[in-house]
Amino acid sequence: MSSGIQGTITHGAKASIGTSAVQLSAVTTPLATSVCIKAIDSNTGTVFVGGADVTTATGFPLYRGDSVTIEAKRLAYVYVIGSAAYQEVRWIAN
pLDDT, tens only, 62-86: 999 999 999 988 899 999 999 999 9
Beta carbons of 17 and 45 less than 8 angstroms apart:
no
Q: Supply the pLDDT for residue 30.
A: 84
Beta carbons of 92 and 70 less than 8 angstroms apart:
no
pLDDT, tens only, 45-68: 999 999 999 999 999 999 999 999
Q: Is pLDDT at 1 greater than 50 in this prediction?
A: no
Residue from 72, 93, 86, 62 nearest 14 by CA: 86
Q: Is pLDDT at 2 greater than 60 in this prediction?
A: no
CA atoms within 13 A on the CB side of 16: 1
Band (4; pLDDT cuts 50, 70, 90):
low
The domain locations on the chain are: 16-93
Query: How many Cβ atoms from other residues are within 10 Å of residue 49's Cβ?
Result: 21
Dist. CA 86–CA 19, nearest whole Å: 9
